[in-house]
Chain A
Amino acid sequence: DAKTTQPNSMESNEEEPVHLPCNHSTISGTDYIHWYRQLPSQGPEYVIHGLTSNVNNRMASLAIAEDRKSSTLILHRATLRDAAVYYCILTRGSTLGRLYFGRGTQLTVWP
């Protein structure tokens, strides 16, 4: 499966927007881009996913570059509860199958 690259850590202030980047230069045409997050002492939680077009849901927005070699998860107004490890994951084809998490980005939100 194609690999993703994320910064180890990022910081934000509460109520400010957060842009979490992910590089996936070897993405193939059938790879979907998924984001999960993991709060302390919890299992991972699904955030959002997309293929080519930008996506919005109640939790976040996903901006996908035109060449699909990178994407950005956008939290429009960070709260203290958004402090977590964020994982960018590629999945292939029509079934999700196993997920390859990597080490993700640790997001710290300051009050």
Chain B
Amino acid sequence: GAGVSQSPRYKVAKRGQDVALRCDPISGHVSLFWYQQALGQGPEFLTYFQNEAQLDKSGLPSDRFFAERPEGSVSTLKIQRTQQEDSAVYLCASSSPPWDRVYGYTFGSGTRLTVV
């Protein structure tokens, strides 16, 4: 596609509910990142994939957070037993080295998760 697509755009979850957030990267992009952005803050790194391999998950805040990219394209970020502090915008970005050195990363518009 022309850009990075994220769905749903908005998600309201009751505390304790599981949620799944989807990211469709630009076709052919090898690298995929997930970021979490709390209100009034800059995005913070969660995890990184190169194709289907999850190379860095050091930013995941707890074992309730899980990400996958089984076929090296679409990725899903899953949050189990959501808590209020999980309320944030979840951003996905993709890139294709070495072109990321010229064009940077392309971000989606994010999924705004509200836990009530």
Identify the A interface with B (CB < 8 A).
Answer: 34, 36, 41-47, 49, 85, 87, 95-104
Contacts and interface: CB of A to CB of B under 8 A. Distances in A.
A43 B93 contact: yes
A99 B48 contact: no
B93 A98 contact: no
16 contacts: A34-B104, A36-B104, A42-B109, A42-B110, A43-B93, A43-B108, A43-B109, A43-B110, A44-B93, A85-B42, A96-B97, A96-B101, A100-B45, A101-B42, A101-B43, A102-B42
B43 to A, nearest CB: 5
Contacts of B42: 85, 87, 101-104
Given A43-B92, A96-B97, A103-B41, 5 more contacts: A42-B107, A46-B106, A99-B43, A101-B43, A103-B42
B107 A98 contact: no
Interface residues of B, number: 26
Given A95-B97, A98-B33, A102-B42, A49 B109 contact: no
Interface of B: 4, 33, 40-45, 48, 56, 59, 91-93, 95, 97, 100-101, 103-110
Nearest to B46: A98
Instruction: Tell me which of A42, A43, A98, A103 has the highest count of chain B C-beta atoms within 10 A of its own C-beta.
Output: A43
Contact of B91 (A43, A96, A97, A104): A43
A100 B42 CA distance: 8
